[in-house]
Chain A
Amino acid sequence: MTSPVGQPLLEAAGLVKRYGGVVATDEVSLQVQRGEVLGIIGPNGAGKSTLIGLLGGALKADAGTVQFDGADVTQLPAAERARRGIGRTYQIPRPFLGMTVRENLLAARYSLHPFARKADALAACDAVLARTGLADAADLPARTLPLLRRKRLEVARALALDPKLLLLDEVGAGLVDAEVTELITLIRSLRGQVQGIVIIEHVLRVVRECCERLLVINFGRQFAEGRTGDVLASDDVAAVYLGTAGASGSPPQREVAAPMPVAAQALAPALAPLLELKGVHAGYGQARVLEGIDLAVLPGQTVAVLGTNGAGKTTLAQVLSGAIRPSVGQILIDGQAVTGWPPHRIAALGLAQCMEGRRIFAPLSVEENLQLAARRVPPAELAERLERVYTLFPDLKQRRRNAGTSMSGGQQQMLAIGRALMARPRLIVFDEISLGLAPVVMDRLYEALAALKRAGMTMLVVEQDVERALNIADQVHVMEHGRIALSGNAAAVRDDPRLRHLYIGKAD
């Protein structure tokens, strides 16, 4: 596409950011020409989000300069950069929870034009809401929006600034293909009014279909840069980022070293379900999320729960953990009703959780995070369990003394899984463990799950990524709007047209 001559819209030179000893961003330089869409890719923990922070002004660079629209903005705080036209979204959405969706946008308008006519401001906001597909939610409190819509709100809020430059941080993460397509159309349509866009993305389709140029970051350093096609084609890029299997559909099932220990009786599948839900309704305050869920997990079985964002998968997981009390219905473990029990008592029954968003304890070291989950266990046994987890995830052993949150996203996810195992549970609930991870990392995690399955562990896998879930599950439930829309064994569900209808096309 034709980019007008003159100096670039954004030019960053030699950006450096250190956290204590760790160098998160190391001598990164980049340019965004007017009318250009630049993609930034790289494995988790490569320092992509840090870079966005440096460009948006949320973080102060230790060295380097940022030129925007012909002016040096290196010293300017976030607010001032925003006023000059840099709009930024957060990877984990941060809407103003106490305000309505429209007010979220109005905040941007009014901060920019305090004395604009109210009618104009409202008009501008509603226009943005319309094109981001939030028009119907304009007057809802942001608190009530599910994750997907919050991500949209992020984009909408940034657009309300009518920025010259838009920084999009993982807006595609966790979307199903249908939604990804929408997103791509949205981003493309933005080119008209935004002079430049920087996209950080794992969903390769977005990158491939939106960006002219790509910048690859690894360990905070510039690894490669060039036209999208060339970069994606290059083998060393594939090596660091995609892994060998990432691009092609389903990951292979490589044999992993140590088979996991499992509470004995789980090995011989009995008929009595280990976990059973009967007509469970639940929600937050007034918002109903689960509308009558029936589901059973037999010992040794692996059950997958699929569904688009906002279908209620995570709420289901929280109900199982006891974090949310069902308003109606029953939860039974070994036929015993545990409805309304506090979380720690449910955990004591051998139901472990690998929570969405990892929930690693920052004040605790990696090892302490693991030890925490093993309740009242004699030292010898504790050491043995630790060893088992370390053999499954050697990365953790190296970093056992580090703070849990100091590791990369993938490693933190490993820690979360390991932590669930430490309880020597009879059933583990895996909630969205692949969310926002690079394909290579996902592969490793799912290999670990596969190993567990072979060892006879009972698992309930709540997943976004259909392929991976179908590959591992015996029994599959697909949720839609708080109900189970479709159930059956993996094979049956895979071929079921209704699934196709839910997820158009395959994950890339």
Chain B
Amino acid sequence: MNPSSAFRAVAVAVFAALAAPVAQAQAADSIVIGASLPLSGPLAGFGAYQKWGYETAVNEVNRAGGLAVGGKKYTIKLVLRDDKTDPNVVASNTETLISRDGALAMLGSCTPALVNAGALVAERRKVPLVAGCDPLGAFKSVRKWQYAWAIFFEEGDLGSAPFRMMADYGLQTNKKIAVFHDNGPDGQVVGGQIWPAEAKKGGYTITTASSFPVDTQQFGAMIGQAKGAGAEIVLADAIPPQAITMRKQMAAAGYTPKLLVMEKGAEPEQFAQALGKLANGVLVGGYWDPSFPYPGAAELGKRFEAEAKQTQSQHIADSFTAAQVLFDAIAAAGALDREKINAAIGKTDKSYVVGPVKFDAEHASRIPITMVQWQGGKAVVVWPKERANGKLVFPLPAGN
């Protein structure tokens, strides 16, 4: 047979195979919720936590007999797709989940690039999407959202936290700051804009500020400059691999500032595992800990560690919350109607695992920031006082 006809045969067969699911989408008494997650690629780490958060929320509802909408119980069917940490794939996944699997509403991916890519599609298709894991500044900067909602911290809070902490505790330094930040979206905002601004306000001087792409592995030059400038405060914003390398190279360069903050990178437990002693005293902004006084917080932490056999991460909280917010809104809407659900999400005002959730005019709900410090392999909340479950170690121990 000739190639072109061969092609047609294949093409038809394939489309038949692929088109099939469309029919059985949105089965009688189940609601389809779609989510595209980075299950492989650089962000696979975050993806795993979110997956757990979403699935746990869904299981909870289903175990309780399903979600009551307009007097009728619906079981929730969560359809996950891997986006390989590629915004192009997030977009096509979202498109597919909506059109093929007939997702009634969407849950977000992680980090601005991925969340926004999906949100833009949802926006076009007028499908509500609730996301955690997308810093609010970056989320708002994209556009005036109609159907996308975000529950996370505000870069502004994160950026100002170290300064507020230093003020509260009256830490003694030479007020000289070195800033290292990656040039990813949030890195740009926190390291490039907020820290400088906050430093100005607090009367600190930024001696060196350097940025780098998220695949660099060498920071010799910037560390050398900071050391040369005698900065006693180092504020860094980098993903885990880089933060780990950076911490090593700081020690290797014989540079020990009094205060070391490593946003993003120092947050997961692997940071402490990979660095051992070197992790001690490193600070990182956090927004959740099982010790917080929110409904179900402690349980959620325990449950994760029991099921996943690894230490909890705050990402389970915001993903779990995002899902719960969405389900509550569906229930509140009283009908499987996207417009109604979207409106209901906007009206959310309730305290969840991650804290109180209430969306502002720009579809964002803020989670307050705390400062967490690694002490002997444990992440200890050291600021603000009222939330702290341990004492701040200051200055930074030499490490070796």
A and B touch in the complex (CB under 8 A): no
Residues of B within 8 A of A (CB): none
